Amino acid sequence: MSNISGDETPGQKATKILLVEDSFANRDMLTRRLTRRGFTVCSAADGATGVAMSVSELPDLILMDVALGEMDGWQATRLIKADARTQGIPIIALTAHALASDREHSIEVGCADFDTKPVDLSRLLGKIEGSLARAAQTADSNHRDSDALQEHLKGVKSMSKLDPVAALTGSVRDFRELQGTDLMARVGSFYEWQELRRQSSLWPYSRATQEAPLSVCTALDDNGQQFTGLNFGTQDYLALSSHPAIKEVAKAVIDEYGVHSAGSSALAGNTKYSLVLEQTISDFLQLEHTTLYPTGWAAGYGVIKALVRPTDHIVMDGLAHACLQEGAYSATSNVHLHGHLNLESVRRHLRRVRAKDTTNGILVVTESLFSMDSDTPDLRTLQSLCDEYDATLLVDVAHDLGAMGPGGRGFIGGQDMLGKVDIVMGSFSKTFASNGGFVASNSPAVKQYLKYYGCTATFSNALSPVQAATVTKAFDIIKSEEGLRLRTVLRQRIEEMREALTQAGLQHTGNPSPIVPVRVGDEALARLVSRRLPALEVIANLVEYPAVAKGDARLRLQMMPTHSLENVRMLASRLRTAIDHAQIEHVRHRAAITGVTRSVATDTAAAQAA
């Protein structure tokens, strides 16, 4: 930081100034100079504390250094201006560079003025006087747009007391390895933590839609509270679940067959519709043999559990879906997780395994589109590595098949790998308007083996005739001109969403796909953001640790072609509002945590001294 210097000329007295500056020397010097001129000065050493003190101190003016640490001055200013209690406080941005971009940025975030460092005190005092005069004039004239103010404050509820610390900390991972002899009683700790979050409206899971999951729909939260909102939380990538042709087929098959397969596919649970669906999938993927499963999870778990034995090896992307990881660890202890999308890491694992074991199998497991990060591997290179090291490649196509790629054939089609991947598994629940899953390969032996050794199919009832028929109809739509149109509109909405998020200053990740992850970061902040969404009429899913890395919580937006451009723009604006206001609460939470920590440290030191 640059040192503060300047002439000491008389200035006009203000009631209170909040100085946010991370350099102690600069903070001390400017505080003393302003105090000598009659100002009351309070100070903060970082952006988060500055935001909190803007509420607790309610100063007449804020001097904001923009080059702070974790939360810079621009972000702190945005948060202060987003809070109805502090939005009228004039802020003067202080920067070490007289750049036009800094001046423009200060205007953009709502600063009253802009000054450079080292500070010329007489110039700064003039800007303080001018900013205070303009603020007073604005308050007196009261020319705010009432409708705009109400829209800005929509969904912002007063937080007069802090949320319980436990409701904003911890994760479901904490309750996975429970201790105690009473199997039922020991899960009580999870329920208590969940209930604490629920009572604070910080448990955004297990919602129930009250109507078809369209682009706008009504839902109940876990507390039974009803709300209606823009729906970006549904896995229905082509919006086929309410397609008239799909519903017509379902009704007709119910009239013909009833609603139940009434048996395992290993026995008498197959139907004429399931046989047609198997052939449809094989033709679509150019793989000759397909086995159906009752769910996508069952397909992922079942194929690994059936094919892999305890002496075999699995080389798997560290971010692979839970069904794949659960299947892997249930089949063998020889599970080798490689770096996400890291081909060299795959090669190292394969080389190391084959150097020690030339007699057992290796299954390499990946996804064509990873649902938390919206990214995809190089499938051709992965298959080549498998061929080189005598391994077998399994690709999960749950999130892109039908919704992306040439003819709806996903990244396997887009990378010209149709019919060339050893084993393909997928789910119908994302694009094909039904539960269910499948495994496809060019081996008739694999198909038959999975039917009798893939426990999740062998010992479960088969897909119902209604499910099989509706999925087949979904394939017909996907292969048609209508399917092409739906994918084109979907891709357009995805691009518009990513652009709208960027314009709102929000960070989205990955490649364009029906999944648009919006990074929030800290789990506590993400929970606070998610809590505000129902009041802002938004349905979106919070994803937090351990589903993603700690400190990398996000909202996972899921797109449909039925979303309009207006829906997209409204969502981006509402997310910006939710995040801005939640960050104010988050600052208070962090201050409380810091206070507790300091109190404990003080008590400990006192006890040791005694």
Whole-Å CA distances, 366 to 327, 336, 341: 13, 12, 9
- Domain residues of the chain, as ranges? 17-143, 165-237+484-585, 244-479
H or E element at residue 196 = helix 188-199
**β-bridge pairing 335-338 and 313-317:** parallel
Provide the 3-class DSSP secondary structure of residue 131. helix
The closest of 70, 232, 69, 153 to 581, measured between CA atoms, is: 153
Residue 153 predicted with pLDDT over 50? no
| C-alpha span between 280 and 197 (Å, rounded) | 46
Compute the distance between CA of residue 437 and CA of residue 294 in angstroms, rounded to an integer. Answer: 6
Phi-psi region of 170 (alpha: psi -120 to 50; beta: other; left: phi over 0): left
CATH architecture label of 165-237+484-585: Alpha-Beta Complex (3.90)
Q: Which residues contact 464 (CB under 8 A, 6 or more apart)?
A: 259, 260, 261
Distances (CA, A) of 8 to 32, 42, 62: 11, 20, 20
Q: What are phi and psi of 315, to 5 degrees?
A: -110, 115
The closest of 570, 511, 566 to 540, measured between CA atoms, is: 570
Return the number of other C-beta atoms located less than 10 Å from residue 559's C-beta.
Answer: 27
Between CA 591 and CA 601, with CA 595 as vertex, the angle to 5 degrees is 145
Environment class of residue 99 by beta-carbon count within 10 Å: exposed (0-12), middle (13-18) or buried (19+)? exposed
Q: How much is the pLDDT for 162? A: 67
Residues contacting 270, CB < 8 A, separation 6+: 261, 263, 462
CATH architecture of the domain with range 244-479: 3-Layer(aba) Sandwich (3.40)
Contact 261, 269 (CB under 8 A): yes
Q: What is the token pair recorded at 293?
A: 């499963």
Residue 134, pLDDT score: 86
Dihedral sign, CA of 127, 129, 135, 141?
Answer: negative
CA atoms within 13 A on the CB side of 545: 17
AA identity, residue 21: E
What is the pairing mode between strands 392-396 and 362-367?
Answer: parallel
290 and 440 Cβ atoms separated by less than 8 Å:
yes
pLDDT in tens, 384-396: 999 999 999 999 9
> Average pLDDT for residues 15-41, to the nearest whole number?
89
Using omega within 30 degrees of 0 as the cis cutoff, is the peptide bond preceding 164 cis?
Answer: no
Q: Summarize pLDDT for 276-296 with one digit per residue, the tens.
A: 999 999 999 999 999 999 999
Note the pLDDT of residue 50. 87
Cα 248–Cα 249–Cα 250 angle in degrees, nearest 5: 90
pLDDT of residue 324: 97
What's the CA gap between 299 and 65, in Å, rounded?
Answer: 56
Kindly report the number of other CB atoms within 10 A of residue 156's CB atom.
Answer: 19
Residue 554's CB is within 10 A of a number of other CB atoms, namely: 24
Q: What is the pLDDT of residues 337-352, one digit of tens each?
A: 999 999 999 999 999 9
Q: Are 396 and 426 in contact (CB under 8 A)?
A: yes
Q: Is pLDDT at 8 greater than 50 in this prediction?
A: no
Helix (H, G, I), strand (E, B) or coil at 525: helix
The residue whose two tokens read 């062998």 is 458
pLDDT the model gives residue 138: 79
Identity at 106, one-letter amino acid code:
S
**Tens-digit pLDDT profile for residues 197-244:** 999 999 999 999 999 999 999 999 988 999 999 999 999 999 999 999
Q: What is the percentage of the chain residues whose pLDDT exceeds 70?
A: 91
Total residues belonging to the chain: 610
Distance of CA 490 to the CA centre of its chain: 19
Element (H, E) at 17: strand 17-20
Question: Residue 530: CB partners within 8 Å, gap ≥ 6?
Answer: 202, 204, 540, 542, 555
Short-list 188, 190, 198, CA closest to 167: 198
Rounded Cα distance between 417 and 113, Å, is: 58
Determine the pLDDT at residue 25: 87
Query: Per mean pLDDT, which range of 95-99, 280-284, 462-466, 495-499 is the poorest?
Result: 95-99
List alpha helices for 200-271, DSSP H. 244-257
Q: How far is CA 398 from CA 181, 242, 364, 561, in A?
A: 39, 20, 17, 18
Beta-strand relationship, 437-441 and 423-427? antiparallel
Q: pLDDT tens digits, residue range 480-521?
A: 999 999 999 999 999 999 999 999 989 999 999 999 999 999
CA distance 491 to 404: 8
Torsion of CA 591, 518, 397, 212, to 10 degrees: 100
Closest CA to 536 of 230, 297, 309: 230
Multiple choice CATH, 17-143, 3.40.50.720, 3.40.640.10, 3.40.50.2300, 3.30.70.1400: 3.40.50.2300
At CA 183, angle to CA 182 and CA 186, rounded to 5? 75
pLDDT greater than 70 at residue 439: yes
**Contact residues for 310 (Cβ-Cβ < 8 A; gap 6+):** 331, 332, 333, 334
For tokens 């046989």, the residue is: 275
Predicted local confidence at residue 133, as pLDDT: 87
Q: Say how many C-beta atoms besides its own lie within 10 A of residue 259's C-beta.
A: 12
Identify whether the C-beta of residue 314 lies closer than 8 Å to the C-beta of residue 293. Answer: no
3-class secondary-structure state, position 218: strand
Contact 396, 297 (CB under 8 A): no
